[in-house]
Structure 1
Amino acid sequence: MKLRTKKRTGALMLALLLAVLAGCGSGNNSNTSNAENSGSATNAPAATTDSAKKVTLTMMVSGTKAPDGQDFALDIMPKLVKEKFPNVTLETSKLPDEQYFTSIRTKLASGKGPDIYWVFPRNASLGVLDMAKAGYAADLSDLTFWDNISQGAKDDMSYEGKPYGIAGGLDYLGVYYNQDLFKQAGVIEMPKDWTSFLEACQKLKDAGITPISLADKDPWFLQFGMYQIAANEVYPDEMDFDTKLQAGEKSLTDPKWVATISKMKELYDKGYVVKNSLGLGSAQAAQLFVDGKAAMVFDGTWDYATLTAKGAANFTRGFFSLPANDSGQPTYVSAATAAGFALNAKSENLDIAKEVMNYLFDGQSDLFKAWTEANSSISVYKGVPLNHDLFKEVNDSYLNNGKSVYFPNQMWPTGVAEEMEAKFAEIIGGRKTTPEQVTEAMDAKFKELWKN
């Protein structure tokens, strides 16, 4: 009986204590939301209510500034964020890719990284997997718009099942070309395979026209052609090649990779690439194209603004997938989830940065509309139509045929693509480096760096 009495007494005292605490919490406490009191709280970041508190968010991205001065990251986004959140100032910077990679790594490692920064899919250089593992990227699971993002794009920006980046869209690698120069050289039918592509290049060369402008001073530019060739040489009959590579079942010395390097080399050997390409940066290579001094340039959808800018010549542009396939075989599109936004896990303003992302991707705000208009990547946000007709043919092929391959470096550790670039630069520079030696160097670097 005593034990039962003690239990009842203890229960009564606990009830009285809870009643007192409830009474203390029932006043006008400005730190407690109505959602919490009603039991309807969500995982979404709380809204900013203290408009008197001035906050400065920093953002760093990579790329080339829009020619007309209406750059989304530098001009439009800061203005619209200020209109929505008067207490928030968004300070942004934009660097060329190589400078960005170096700068952002240094800043994040020193604990002085920006609140918002540009991150790449999977294992790519500055890939979301590395950023999440290192603790530099915040878990974004509690953002409110994920149901409107394609699952593939979300998966490519996730680590251990949680999203750590927001994809900017879907990107295609392809060939921007000058339709007027093609006609001038007698290239009437678009090339459908590697043989007919080489024939088109030869016609252009014979007509005194530089067939291809490439920016080999910027090593990463090599990827824009190489990955399109690989999409048609390496992967069509073995889409799980890189999974096998990671498991130790395949090697980058595979004959299909040797053939890929060899085809890229062929373009230089036959004089189809602009002379002294090792001295040309990306801006210079693009200028040759927009000025009508080269018929083609290998690049991605992300450089739409640069490659459609007004130059010294007026001409009609086109865009097609590099047909590195054999005759009678389909051309595979080189397509992959685009780079996008990550939030610094160590940011003191993480909640506010999340609010900005929710506003950016809410599907209806002025900021969202400006983003979809400025974004040259193919949208992965449901319901957003293609905004550049230049990419319609390739986009239709991607959607209707289902024959596409991701960018290989998204499945490699950082350093492998860079090794490919360095060794191939030896070929461009006239050294006797062979395609086999390029693949051997790539494979050795992969085995050195792969730790899974």
Structure 2
Amino acid sequence: MLIFVLLVLPACGTNDRSGTENGNAEGDERVTVKLAVWASGAADNFAKAAEEFNKRQNKINFVIDMQTSYTEYLGAKVASNDLPDLFFLNPYSEVQQFARNGKILDLSDRKFNDQLYDSMKASGTYESKMYAFPTVLEMLGIYYNQDLFKEAGIEKVPETFDEMKEAVDKLNAKNITPFAATFKDSWTLMHMLSTLQGAILGDDMDDWIADMNAGKGTYDVEGSNRVYEFLDLIKENSGKNYMDADSTTGFNALANGEAAMLLSGEFALLNLSSINPDLPVGLFAVPVTDNSADAKLDVDVGISIAVNKDSKNLEAALEVLDYISDNNDKNGWFHHVSDSLGSSPPAMPFEMTKEYPYFKDYTNYMNAGKVRGWNYLQLPSGFGSTAGETIQGYMMNGLDSKQTMQALDNGVKELLQ
């Protein structure tokens, strides 16, 4: 699930499994097609999806190769010119980098292109051609315990910054910790920055991204003070020792009812199935400004799948990709990897068999057109790591807002050199 620019951990965290393969018994004469993925809590779902494909035919052995240290793994494969048949890439800049270097296949003629949401096609595009399948969408926002909101007397989700502060005050009045902390893991903070910066940029985000990639933009824009006011609100209302809490601690705090809110993605709910599957968790857009119209959910492609242009089993790899990208297959890939609590929905129409409260909220935002993309994914490849570590410095009170914005600007410029 998700991860993100090549130099950072995937969004959904990691586990201790490396190089895990799910295939048929040794001696099977099938052609083996390997999909390399980064480690995540979705290991079992991937395994079941691959097993389903292998049951349906006797020519291809579809194998999932899960790598804990995906950055190092993929870098080594590039260096040795030994990329797997199919592999995860981060959307936008990383897909563009691999396409520009001639490493991945043009997929413009595949059937999935007609099914994708138009707004998500750019994530896999380079020079007007589709070079990666935008697999799933991930939604960044504030996940909240509906029961704790009711207990605190919060009747509607906040849509402005003042309403957010009022909600925090009501939770504190009931001795409920407002926010779950995850800040020991810097990748959670790159997500946070993306949502806050996106809100203050609004309709100017595309122009800002273009300026940043041209080396003439800055994080210090009109309204940027609100980004740091919101970060301060979170710092002051995430309990004691908030910098000691990693993503697992924060995810569990929401699941156990120890905190009312968590600014994160749907992957944070994967552990609910085992901890508290009936917990009513809703979702709302991060309310950064004083204008409710700016409260948009941050939705973008979290995983792209690319095809090795030089794969020795190219036709078989494309057959596997067709299986993965079929959103009408009732027992196919998406049934196993997207149709469960905390899973990421496809970047194309898909009907879940069970509707969770947060997913209903996500659908309402999508239908209303109140969504925006993730800006950090469209900045130079590798910037996500810089962004997360820089915001970590601010959260630890090691940098003030001006120093933080200057460090972010410098981080982009260094990667452009």
Shorter-chain TM-score bucket reads 0.7 to 0.9
Are positions 1:296 and 2:281 aligned together? no
- Which residue pairs with 2:86 in the alignment? 116
CA distance in 2: counterparts of 1:263 and 1:363, whole angstroms? 38
Match of 2:31 among 39, 55, 58: 55
Secondary structure at 2:33 match in 1: strand
Q: How many residues align?
A: 386
Match of 1:354 among 307, 318, 323: 318
The answer as to whether partners of 1:225 and 1:298 remain within 8 angstroms in 2 is yes
Secondary structure at 2:273 match in 1: coil
Deviation at 1:258, TM superposition (A): 4.7
The answer as to whether partners of 1:226 and 1:261 remain within 8 angstroms in 2 is no
- Quick one: which amino acid aligns to residue 416 of structure 2? W
- Quick one: which amino acid aligns to residue 54 of structure 1? R
- Which residue pairs with 2:50 in the alignment? 78
Match of 1:395 among 350, 359, 363: 363
- Quick one: which amino acid aligns to residue 447 of structure 1? K
CA distance in 2: counterparts of 1:135 and 1:258, whole angstroms? 42
CA distance in 2: counterparts of 1:207 and 1:80, whole angstroms? 49
- Which residue pairs with 1:89 in the alignment? 61
- Quick one: which amino acid aligns to residue 254 of structure 1? V
The answer as to whether partners of 2:31 and 2:61 remain within 8 angstroms in 1 is yes
What do residues 138-171 of structure 1 show as CA deviations (whole Å, max 9, x unaligned)?
2223423322223332332011122111112333
- Which residue pairs with 1:241 in the alignment? 208
The answer as to whether partners of 2:202 and 2:294 remain within 8 angstroms in 1 is no
- CA gap 1:236/1:352 in 2 versus in 1, 3 angstroms: same
Structure 2 length as normaliser, TM-score? 0.83
Match of 2:40 among 39, 64, 67: 64
- Quick one: which amino acid aligns to residue 350 of structure 1? L
The answer as to whether partners of 1:302 and 1:376 remain within 8 angstroms in 2 is yes
CA distance in 1: counterparts of 2:335 and 2:351, whole angstroms? 14
Deviation at 1:177, TM superposition (A): 0.8
- CA gap 1:321/1:274 in 2 versus in 1, 3 angstroms: same
The answer as to whether partners of 2:135 and 2:325 remain within 8 angstroms in 1 is no
Match of 1:187 among 154, 159, 162: 154
The answer as to whether partners of 2:103 and 2:308 remain within 8 angstroms in 1 is yes
Are positions 1:138 and 2:110 aligned together? no
What do residues 112-139 of structure 1 show as CA deviations (whole Å, max 9, x unaligned)?
433222112112xxx2112222333222
CA distance in 1: counterparts of 2:362 and 2:59, whole angstroms? 43
Deviation at 1:285, TM superposition (A): 1.5
The answer as to whether partners of 2:41 and 2:270 remain within 8 angstroms in 1 is no
Match of 2:346 among 379, 399, 406: 379
Secondary structure at 1:114 match in 2: coil
- Which residue pairs with 2:407 in the alignment? 441
- Which residue pairs with 1:305 in the alignment? 270
The answer as to whether partners of 1:153 and 1:169 remain within 8 angstroms in 2 is no
Structure 1 length as normaliser, TM-score? 0.77
The higher radius of gyration belongs to: 1
- Quick one: which amino acid aligns to residue 399 of structure 1? N
Are positions 1:338 and 2:302 aligned together? yes
Deviation at 1:408, TM superposition (A): 0.9
CA distance in 2: counterparts of 1:420 and 1:285, whole angstroms? 20
What do residues 327-380 of structure 1 show as CA deviations (whole Å, max 9, x unaligned)?
554412212223121122332222211111112334444325625535933433
Secondary structure at 1:420 match in 2: helix
- Quick one: which amino acid aligns to residue 55 of structure 1? V
- Quick one: which amino acid aligns to residue 65 of structure 1? G
Structure 1 gap segments, 5+ residues each: 1-51
- CA gap 1:155/1:327 in 2 versus in 1, 3 angstroms: closer
CA distance in 2: counterparts of 1:210 and 1:425, whole angstroms? 21
Report which stretch shifted further, 355-364 or 365-374. Answer: 365-374
CA distance in 2: counterparts of 1:393 and 1:369, whole angstroms? 20
Secondary structure at 1:294 match in 2: coil
CA distance in 2: counterparts of 1:354 and 1:210, whole angstroms? 49
More relative contact order, 1 or 2 (CA 8 Å, 6+ apart): 2
The answer as to whether partners of 1:65 and 1:94 remain within 8 angstroms in 2 is no
The answer as to whether partners of 1:168 and 1:377 remain within 8 angstroms in 2 is no
CA distance in 2: counterparts of 1:210 and 1:313, whole angstroms? 21
- Quick one: which amino acid aligns to residue 407 of structure 2? A
The answer as to whether partners of 1:303 and 1:376 remain within 8 angstroms in 2 is no
- Which residue pairs with 1:273 in the alignment? 238
- CA gap 1:276/1:421 in 2 versus in 1, 3 angstroms: same
The answer as to whether partners of 2:142 and 2:262 remain within 8 angstroms in 1 is yes
The answer as to whether partners of 1:179 and 1:318 remain within 8 angstroms in 2 is yes
CA distance in 2: counterparts of 1:267 and 1:364, whole angstroms? 41
CA distance in 1: counterparts of 2:110 and 2:205, whole angstroms? 36
- CA gap 1:358/1:312 in 2 versus in 1, 3 angstroms: closer
- Quick one: which amino acid aligns to residue 262 of structure 2? V
Deviation at 1:223, TM superposition (A): 2.6
Match of 1:223 among 190, 193, 205: 190
- CA gap 1:102/1:187 in 2 versus in 1, 3 angstroms: farther
CA distance in 1: counterparts of 2:131 and 2:276, whole angstroms? 43
- CA gap 1:85/1:281 in 2 versus in 1, 3 angstroms: farther
CA distance in 1: counterparts of 2:154 and 2:30, whole angstroms? 60
Deviation at 1:176, TM superposition (A): 1.2
Match of 1:367 among 327, 332, 335: 332
- CA gap 1:111/1:217 in 2 versus in 1, 3 angstroms: farther
Secondary structure at 1:234 match in 2: helix
CA distance in 2: counterparts of 1:262 and 1:255, whole angstroms? 14
Deviation at 1:442, TM superposition (A): 1.1
CA distance in 1: counterparts of 2:293 and 2:319, whole angstroms? 48
- Quick one: which amino acid aligns to residue 437 of structure 1? Q
The answer as to whether partners of 1:120 and 1:128 remain within 8 angstroms in 2 is yes
Structure 2 gap segments, 5+ residues each: 1-27
- CA gap 1:352/1:313 in 2 versus in 1, 3 angstroms: closer
Q: What percent identity do the matched residue pairs reach?
A: 24
- CA gap 1:290/1:369 in 2 versus in 1, 3 angstroms: closer
The answer as to whether partners of 2:182 and 2:249 remain within 8 angstroms in 1 is yes
